[in-house]
Amino acid sequence: MIRQASRSEHEPNLGFELADALHWHPEPDTDLLFSNAMLQWLPGHRELLAGWLDELKPGAHVAIQVPGNFGSPSHAVMRQVADGAAWAQKLSGVLRHDDVVGEPEEYQRLLLQAGYQANVWETTYHQVMVGEDPILDWVRGTALLPVKAALDAEDYRRFEDDYRVQISAHYPSFTGPDGTKVTNFPFRRIFMIGRKLG
Ligand SMILES: C[S@@+](CC[C@H](N)C(=O)[O-])C[C@H]1O[C@@H](n2cnc3c(N)ncnc32)[C@H](O)[C@@H]1O
């Protein structure tokens, strides 16, 4: 993403830099800190965010979105399968829990206590998914990545099979208007906007 952005046509005052957010700090004159769907990957993101909020100057803005779906069946079923007798030994501690991302009020409190004006809300998008295993296809790019990293190829294929069998009951598919198979995939996201007072 960063490489493509650097190569794209863009305003001359824009620069792009790849960095590990775990070790990143805003420049003192930062006007806006924007983060989309990233904080959930950072262990201890609440403390990191509190540090960034502290470092920003008065008048600076933050705009952040995190997925609020770690308690949804797509993730809860994955944890159940991983905790089952067949996988517990190999996958112990690999998957994160449903509190990996906080509730909206937690982020609201964080912003307010850091001296920010806060506007926090959540939205559930009812995504229309297509294909035979749409939920599995989706989580392959996100929540399943740590499982894939922890297992060899054959075990990972077997884990996917176990997950596939269980997950379809939670997301029944039906026939859409043009005869294709469609599935509803509710996806909750948490948004926060803040401006530092003072
Ligand atoms: C769901 S994607 C969102 C990407 C992009 N922000 C967007 O909205 O399309 C999650 C992103 O978090 C990035 N990420 C995960 N851990 C990171 C870290 N420690 N430092 C920086 N980026 C990280 C991943 O590389 C990935 O691009």
Instruction: Kindly report the pTM of this predicted structure.
Output: 0.92
pLDDT (0 to 100) of residue 124: 98
Ligand 1, pocket residues at CB < 6 Å:
1, 20-22, 36-38, 41-42
Which pLDDT value is given to residue 96?
Answer: 83
Tell the residue nearest (CA) to atom 27 of ligand 1: 38
Ligand 1 atom with least separation from CA of 1 = 27
Helix (H) or strand (E) holding 145: helix 145-150
Tell whether the torsion through CA atoms of 83, 89, 95 and 100 is positive or negative: positive
The 10 Å Cβ neighbour count of residue 91 is 21
Report pLDDT for 122. Answer: 98
Q: What pLDDT, on the 0 to 100 scale, is given for residue 46?
A: 96
Tell me what pLDDT residue 97 has: 82
Alpha carbon nearest to ligand 1 atom 9, residue: 36
Helix (H) or strand (E) holding 134: helix 134-140
CA 21–ligand 1 middle distance (angstroms): 9
Beta strands 61-67 and 32-36 are parallel
| Rounded (to 5) percent helix, strand, coil in the chain | 40, 25, 40
Provide the 10 A C-beta neighbour count for residue 18: 8
pLDDT at residue number 157: 98
25-34 pLDDT tens trace: 999 999 999 9
The pLDDT, as a whole number, for residue 128 is: 96
CATH number at 28-196: 3.40.50.150
**How many whole angstroms separate alpha carbon 171 and alpha carbon 164?**
11
Whole-number Å distance, alpha carbon 193 to ligand 1 midpoint, is 19
Residue 177 Cα to ligand 1 midpoint, Å, equals 35
Which residue out of 1, 38, 144 has the highest number of ligand 1 atoms within 8 Å of its CB and is therefore the one to mutate? 38
Both tokens of 173, joined, read 């598919």
Residues of the chain with pLDDT under 70: none
Q: At 143, phi and psi to the nearest 5? A: -65, -25
Q: What is the pLDDT of residue 52?
A: 98
User: What is the residue extent of each domain of the chain?
Assistant: 28-196
